[in-house]
Copies of this chain bind each other. A is one copy, B any other.
Amino acid sequence: MVGRMQCSPTGPRKGRARLTGRTGRPRSAAADAAILDATRAALVELGWGKLTMGDVAARAKVAKTTLYRRWAGKNELVLDAVAVLFDELELPDRGSLKDDIEGVVLQFAALLARPETKTALMAVVAESTTDDALRTRIREAVVERQKRLVVQGRQRAQRRGELPPDGGGPEGAAAAARSVDLIFDVIAGAVVHRALVSGEPVDAAWAARFTTLLLAGLGGLETRD
């Protein structure tokens, strides 16, 4: 849960709800789950544009005011509702870097094929271009969390000898971090663009050709296909 608002603006202590030092009626965890489920359901049926706070409240069977007590608005609510879906992504060891990349590409594509994910992700990013706080939260809730997949796949490939090890010292670590960022942007960006902008399927054949390009570069792609 990234987007929760402060619980008690007047409260003297800032501990979390279930910890000591917090008095008063606690927030209903069931309401949280119901609201986020309702948000995802509304995204599926209505899409971002026609989703309204009142509709979500009605689906979740809570008062509209309860929504506004917990989230500042539609942007934050929808972000929280879809961010958790990205944590389902995994990187099972398939034995080679190529197979690892193809696997995660297809997983990511399956996630983006879900209607609630695609309509919400792009819309929230669009809103974030005029809302710095939202952009920071997207980075924390989605982008930085999922870079773990790149880090993990890269480490595995280095252990296998498929990629050279990191250079030593602080420069080496900085270069490794830049590489992770770059690779993440390339993989995530390409899949998102293919799926949502070009609007064509990310299937096994595309994943294979993309992975070939990523591993061998343009020259390697052209000689194979």
Contact A143 B198 (CB under 8 A): yes
Within 8 A of B (CB), among A183-221: 183-186, 188-194, 196-200, 206, 209-210, 213-221
Q: Choose one: B123, B213, B225; the contact of A126 (CB below 8 Å).
A: B123
A223 within 8 A of partner (CB)? yes
* Residue on B nearest A167 in the bound complex, by CB: B225
Contacts of A128 in B (CB 8 A): 196, 199
List 9 A-B residue pairs with CB atoms under 8 Å apart, sorted by A's residue number: A118-B129, A122-B129, A125-B196, A181-B198, A184-B198, A189-B190, A190-B190, A193-B193, A215-B217
* A46 → B minimal CB distance (Å): 8
Which of A97, A115, A128, A182 is most buried by chain B, counting CB atoms within 10 A of its CB?
Answer: A182
Within 8 A of B (CB), among A32-48: 46-48
A26 within 8 A of partner (CB)? no
* A121 → B minimal CB distance (Å): 8
Contact B190 A221 (CB under 8 A): no
Chain A contact residues, CB within 8 Å of chain B: 46-50, 97, 115, 118-123, 125-130, 135, 138-139, 143, 163-164, 175, 178-179, 181-186, 188-194, 196-200, 206, 209-210, 213-223, 225
| The 5 residue pairs across chains A and B that have the minimum distance between CB atoms | A189-B193, A47-B130, A189-B189, A122-B126, A123-B126
Contacts of A163 in B (CB 8 A): 218-219, 222
* Residue on B nearest A215 in the bound complex, by CB: B217
Question: Do A209 and B182 contact each other (CB < 8 Å), given the known contacts A126-B126, A127-B48, A130-B49?
Answer: yes
